[in-house]
Structure 1
């Protein structure tokens, strides 16, 4: 008997038939003296669980979306990706937002092309420092930290959110939709967590190993214990 739905569901193993009876009717009325049928009798009890609901929706505060400013931080690389990067910038561009781009230090052609773009558009800038941003390398974190320092200490932008992207990202909805949504939650941070199995996540990220970054390459040198 399911107290949440008020329905009783019984399965007979003899003829493999399902019996769904009306609410408030007890299962014992349709369970016979057959032992095989009694084995499949299950009761679901109320545990005191209360639906949490969408508290984010309840606490939202309406704000003019024109006052919500987003800083898009792009880490890009690869000479062949120039066309895709320009396509991404066109898709997420609004005059009210800011765009800071870090170009891999090994990609001089890409840097020169994006430098021309930044000179034509006032709210697009390139980072002062460049690193070889190998995926999984410590330089990827360093590039982000230096970019944030540049935003706060040099550019001094007044903004509501920072979104970090790569050239392989692309929006599924117009940038106006994202801006309007974020304008309702300017006092919130949106962070993406890992999966529901922390141990598998930690193992897949290589946290049980020690790495060293040398000559633009990450070397695994030993195992380590996190405890």
Structure 2
């Protein structure tokens, strides 16, 4: 039985996250001080894992999150299919009343099963799935890479976790996430099935909470 273990993480905190500003794929922000501390804490907890390769999105916040591992000399590959959803006109804006209403309507539409509905000037969950499928196919095309680290983004993770577990996208909000949380996945090549072993795990960040 050939299996692949995937450590799927969300990027560390950015100032946009802290201020509740929408980033999406159009805002290429850096990790803030807390985000870098989170990346270091994750590295301290998981540096012993024999990762064969690291996969990141095309946005630098995922590179910076995985950077401590990359600095060990581990090979890495950028896959833009792992990018965050494009939120279109909402990107870079703090959610004011009007945008909150727009955002709420959008999330409610998706939860009602309208996953073809696009953000204004951006993408729909269905469009995100299409590019994610290509990225995941690339990752799975290397069964010799038994354990990999994948760094990506919150909404994109929710979408990914839904379709890889054969659930409708209307259920994506059940997948909780926080900055630098871990989802540990197993992929079985014989059954072509994913299982989730750990969900939204942040035990590696406890040292930061104690320090603050």
TM-score range (shorter-chain normalised) is 0.3 to 0.5
TM-score w.r.t. structure 1 length?
Answer: 0.32
TM-score w.r.t. structure 2 length?
Answer: 0.33
Which structure has the larger Rg over C-alpha atoms? 1
